[in-house]
Structure 1
Amino acid sequence: MSWSNTYVGIPYKDLGRSVTGCDCWGLAKVVYQAELGLTLPDYRDGYVSAEEQAEVASLIGKETATSIWALVEAPKEFDILLFRHGRLESHVGIYVQHGVMLHMATEDQAKHEDYLSPRWHRRLAGIFRFTAGLKEAS
């Protein structure tokens, strides 16, 4: 988990997109840029606050239907885990290794958690791979 340890402790900041503070999507943007050299779509203009779950879910629904995101069954490092919050798909985590994700805990900080635990696994809505600019490892 060496790469992911770098991000543990980043504070939560609504609509944040940097290591000084971010929301769950901001954390994904920061990690993809720093670790993979990839710029993920910002999506910040698509919602007013991470608390607006319906707006976030609508935005995620539109984006997961595009060709830059591929729904996959078996996760690989850096894949995006999409979770339901209530009935809405509005939270993301980053796959680190089997059973471990890095995610932004709302009103807290970035941390590792077990996405296979009952709390998270029952809410897992899908696993997505960013396909724009990624190369398969040989």
Structure 2
Amino acid sequence: MSGYVGIPYADKGRDESAGLDCWGLLRLFYAEQFGHRLPSHDGRYLSSDNRAETCALARFEIDRAWHPVQMPHWGDAVVLNVLGRPFHVGICLARPDFLHTLDPHQGAVIDSLRSPAWARRIDGYYHYRKD
């Protein structure tokens, strides 16, 4: 997973060299690791900071192509609450680690879902339904 760590963060980012937002990182990971082409959705929200738009889009995407799981496996998505709403997505690695990007100063990082910053923010785990 070290190949993903450090990829720069960019609002609405869909290009690895220019930077990725959390959905862009998930798209890249799924394309490279599983051969799945997830939709871009880059034209469906104005900014990653627009919580209402991104939450609605997250719900749409989950209902469209993902199913909830109780025990996540490597590569499953974890949806996390930010400011009380399901807003952020990461990729489950070896438990309890996950890969995500949210901070423009750090880029993509591996964090622990057991850390105080994330343990109480888990909205759910999801497995992608293959195309």
1:24 to 5, 13, 22: 22
> How far apart, CA to CA, are the structure 1 residues paired with 2:122 and 2:43?
25
Match of 1:35 in 2: 33
Alignment partners' CA distance in 2, 1:46 and 1:132: 22
Distance 2:110 2:88 in 1: 15
Divergent runs of 4+, >6 A = none
Distance 1:75 1:93 in 2: 12
SS of equivalent to 2:92: strand
Cα separation, 2, equivalents of 1:11 and 1:90: 19
The number of residue pairs the alignment matches comes to 129
Which residue of 64, 71, 91 corresponds with 2:68?
Answer: 71
**Separation (CA, whole Å) in 1 of partners of 2:6 and 2:117:** 21
Other-structure match for 1:114 = 112
1:86 corresponds in structure 2 to 83
Over aligned residues, Cα RMSD in angstroms? 1.1
Question: How high is the TM-score relative to the length of structure 2?
Answer: 0.93
Give ranges in structure 1 of 5+ residues lacking alignment. Answer: 134-138
User: How high is the sequence identity, in percent, across the aligned residues?
Assistant: 33
Distance 1:88 1:54 in 2: 9
Unpaired runs of 5+ residues, structure 2, are none
Partner deviation per Cα, 1:37-84 (whole Å, 9 max, x = no partner): 111121212211101111100111122122x20100001111000001
Correspondences of 1:40-59 after superposition (within 5 Å): 40-59=38-57
